[in-house]
Amino acid sequence: MSAVLFALPGNETMAAKLAAELGAEIGRLELRRFPDEELHLRFATDVAGRSAIFVCTLDRPDGKFLPLAFAAATARELGAAEVGLVAPYLAYMRQDRHFEAGDAETAPIFAACLSRTADWLVTVDPHLHRLKNLSLIYSIPTRAQHAAAPISRWIADNVPDAVLIGPDAESAQWVGAVAKTAGKPFVVLTKTRRGDRDVSVTVPEVERWRAATPVLVDDIISTGRTMAETLGHLAREKMKPAVCIGVHAVFAPGAYDDLRRYEPARIVTTDTIAHQTNAIDVAGLLAEGVRALWRAT
Amino acid sequence: MSAVLFALPGNETMAAKLAAELGAEIGRLELRRFPDEELHLRFATDVAGRSAIFVCTLDRPDGKFLPLAFAAATARELGAAEVGLVAPYLAYMRQDRHFEAGDAETAPIFAACLSRTADWLVTVDPHLHRLKNLSLIYSIPTRAQHAAAPISRWIADNVPDAVLIGPDAESAQWVGAVAKTAGKPFVVLTKTRRGDRDVSVTVPEVERWRAATPVLVDDIISTGRTMAETLGHLAREKMKPAVCIGVHAVFAPGAYDDLRRYEPARIVTTDTIAHQTNAIDVAGLLAEGVRALWRAT
């Protein structure tokens, strides 16, 4: 069984990289909008008897679900042997329980929608906070690939004098692992509470790190506020300008410019969401995930 | 069992009218977007043991499905006894078969998505062209209410000298029925083909109708091209400026201004989609449909 990859709009670059990694064909899926804004889709590549794999990153997800549902259902109707979904960024992972009475738990509802759409799902570092793994809400086989390895490699290659900075104790596990793989030192900021509103955040043994380049790593850069705060703490400690690394370049409107105002040495992201800061390639990671799940060989 | 109506964004006016018609409560559903554009929903009105009825017209549908799916699934989780959907305009009714090889049949796929969302559906004049009725694609009980009666009433009340104009033989059934109920004469334009590219469109017995106000009726005004063409034919025949009536004010970008350039006497629509041309109220019709399907009494 051969595989054919289809890019939903905006995912053409990632689909091409992934096809190259997998040695798979890129198929043509034509989408256009009628004057009333309804969508018209047409498969210009045959999918009968093949693995049809859709590439669609899911930031700003609300407008992306129906096109994907139409494409997947049509591929099935046209005889695709299986329908796979590669969503480098997976949305609706935060509202995983009722925070207040009457609140929607969007995570399992969205997961149910996607589970009815595809036969399997590959993604990169979904925001698993309280949920331990995707199988708690997804009823299809899933693979959550970890960007820690390519991020570590990028740091080792590009920031020889790096010291990884964890903004708080919570970050120790994930940032610590990246530091270890990159072969770089790792420091967690210390919070000292002097009063109700007087909390000072300092770098332990700061003199040791003044000559190093601080590197911040987070899974999602959305408003960028957490990173901006940490940059503020480092500046007050007279550390060198930091390199900010995010797995997912979500960037809320204005967030990128806001973050640059703190004058980091560089802002770097993986290409799970297309953005001018993309510098770390995850196509290889995604290909690994696809190979674990697809039936094509 | 009591009923509670919830307006999805933009449907507040229709929900209020419908609640008044049904003697039902308007519930509070709070929606806001996180900085990353994901949606947060919260029910501020209790739905446990009640009929939760969502009002959401479905023009420009792609961004509207997930919010509706979240709201409906959450209402169920919060104990709603049933989930109803009032969609005054129903989308994705045109691609009901494969027109070309590889084409998506969006109509049944969208219908399957909505059938999993709500327990029943009420709409007004869906574009049933080849499909004879909604039950061919919807697996839930549906009611398609007909706007012909309120449109006929509006014509009888507002255009005493009306002559209804059907642009072609296909329109005879629907426009003819409106004319009959309104107690007005009805005329179908005649196409005379003189050569491959020479088709003249004329009004039969045009002298009889020169003093009358032509009234055009169509189900959807999207690009407005069909109506604009008919207005052109009537102008060449030196008829009086026409009244254009559409059930659904879809209006593609620029379409409303384009149509006005043909100087109709007036453009009038029902309120299935909010638009400045709305003049004919369908809340009563929708309430009738809801009463036929809901379990609340």
Q: A292: number of CA atoms within 13 Å, CB side?
A: 16
The model's pTM = 0.93
Query: B59: which chain A residues are within 8 Å (Cβ-Cβ)?
Result: 36-37
**B3-146+282-293 and B148-280 agree in CATH topology:** yes
Mean pLDDT of B203-229: 94
Q: What is the dihedral of CA B174, B175, B179, B181, to 10 degrees?
A: 20
Q: Residue A69: which of B39, B109, B250 has the nearest Cβ?
A: B109
B42–A67 CB contact, under 8 Å: no
Question: What pLDDT was estimated at residue B60?
Answer: 97
Per-residue pLDDT at B281 = 97
The whole-angstrom distance between residue A14's C-alpha and the CA centroid of its chain comes to 13
Beta bridge partners of A54: A6, A85
Task: Name the closest residue on chain B to residue A100, using Cα atoms.
Answer: B42
pLDDT at B18: 98
Interface membership of B226 toward A (CB under 8 Å): no
Give this complex's ipTM. 0.93
Q: Look at residue B98 in the predicted model and tell me its pLDDT.
A: 67
Q: What confidence tens digit (pLDDT) does each residue in B223-236 have?
A: 999 999 999 999 99
Q: Mean pLDDT for each 10-residue chunk of chain A (297 residues)?
A: 95 98 97 95 96 98 97 97 98 82 93 98 90 92 96 97 90 88 94 80 91 95 94 95 97 96 97 98 98 89
Question: Is the CB of A42 less than 8 angstroms away from the CB of B92?
Answer: no
Q: Cα–Cα–Cα angle for A151, A154, A159, nearest 5°?
A: 120
Closest alpha carbon to B14 in B69, B61, B46, B57: B57
- Convert the pLDDT of each residue in B116-166 to its tens digit: 999 999 999 998 877 789 999 999 999 999 999 999 999 999 999 999 998
| A71 near B CB under 8 A | yes
CATH topology of domain B148-280: Rossmann fold (3.40.50)
Distances (CA, A) of A28 to A2, A49, A54, B233: 15, 16, 11, 42
Backbone angles phi, psi at A13, to 5 degrees: -65, -50
Surface-to-core class of residue A111, CB atoms within 10 Å of its CB (0-12 exposed, 13-18 middle, 19+ buried): buried
Of the candidate CATH numbers 3.40.50.2020, 3.40.190.10, 3.40.50.410, 3.10.20.30, the domain formed by B3-146+282-293 belongs to: 3.40.50.2020
Longest dimension (CA), chain B: 68
Question: In the prediction, which pLDDT does A297 show?
Answer: 64
The pLDDT assigned to A198 comes to: 78
Inter-chain contact B103–A42, Cβ cutoff 8 Å?
yes
Query: Are B73 and A39 a contacting pair at CB < 8 A?
Result: no
Residues, chain B: 297
Q: What is the DSSP string of B153-195?
A: HHHHHH-TTEEEEESSGGGHHHHHHHHHHHT--EEE-EEEE-S
Q: Domain spans of chain B?
A: 3-146+282-293, 148-280
Between B288 and B196, name the one with better pLDDT. Answer: B288
